[in-house]
Amino acid sequence: MQIVVDKSFLLGAPRTQLAAIFRDHEAIMPDVLFYEMLKDEEYRQRMFARLPQKDTPLILIHGTGEILRHEIALRRSVADSMHELVASRWRFHSGLANGEFILEPWMKEANAAQLQEYTSSARGIAEVAGVLPSFVPELRRLRPGDRRFDPVLKQVRTDFGRDTNLVRGLYAALRHSDWPRPAQM
């Protein structure tokens, strides 16, 4: 049986309970939670000290946001296709559990580059989210969890499918300088 393990459980559960779970079950964790465990040295050491020193102590599930989006859209679990979403086998460095592991300079540079890429992507998403209400004023009235969201979204999709000027305006507002001009489409 697969059991989802999160950071809080990993850190707070009694060691005997953790040992039983890792012995008797497949422990799975969303990869984003796993990567959060790596960000602080003291925190990382505490977490890795609680993992068994064996191949693939945790099965990392990639793209949990995508999984949830598909489940919501399909209104069913995608658990049947979980085998397609798990990472390959891996083993963590034992120094992560005892504090002896030290990131080499190239690793720090790679982490900084990855953080910069994520930050840039997040800014881009925030910019798009900030522009959309100017093209779709109906979105300004909605708040998270609003029951009117589905009908408004349906209307927006219909409008975007029929109003070429709306699409061109949105494209022009979001257009990167390398993209072709709207008139060239």
8 Cβ contact list (under 8 Å, min separation 6) = none
Asked whether residue 86 falls in the same domain as residue 137, the answer is no
Place of tokens 């709207």: 182
97 shares a domain with 111: no
Q: Is the pLDDT of residue 5 over 60?
A: yes
148-158 pLDDT, tens digit each: 877 877 877 78
The answer to whether residues 83 and 161 belong to one domain is no
Of 21, 19, 17, 20, the residue nearest 3 (C-alpha)? 21
Residue 93 sits in the same domain as residue 120: no
Cβ neighbours, 10 Å, residue 106: 8
The answer to the question of residue 184 being in a domain is: no
Lowest pLDDT segment from 5-14, 54-63, 131-140: 131-140
The structure tokens 């465990």 sit at 37
Residues 93 and 113 in one domain: no
Single residue among 102, 121, 144 that ends a domain in this structure: 102
Q: What is the domain range of residue 133?
A: 106-177
Which sign, positive or negative, has the C-alpha torsion 74, 78, 81, 87? positive
Element (H, E) at 11: helix 7-12
9 and 84 in a single domain? The answer is yes
The whole-number pLDDT of residue 80 equals 58
User: Taking 60 as the threshold, does the pLDDT of residue 60 lie above it?
Assistant: yes
Query: 59: helix, coil or strand?
Result: strand
Average pLDDT, whole number, for the chain? 78
Which of 39, 74, 102 terminates a domain? The answer is: 102
For residue 173, is it within any domain? yes
User: In this structure, are 113 and 97 located in the same domain?
Assistant: no
Single out the residue in 86, 102, 118 at which a domain terminates: 102
Q: State the total domains in the chain.
A: 2
| Tens-digit pLDDT profile for residues 71-117 | 777 777 766 555 455 555 677 788 888 888 888 899 889 889 988 98
Q: What does pTM read for this prediction?
A: 0.47
Asked if residue 43 and residue 15 are part of one domain, the reply reads: yes
Q: What is the pLDDT of residue 58?
A: 85
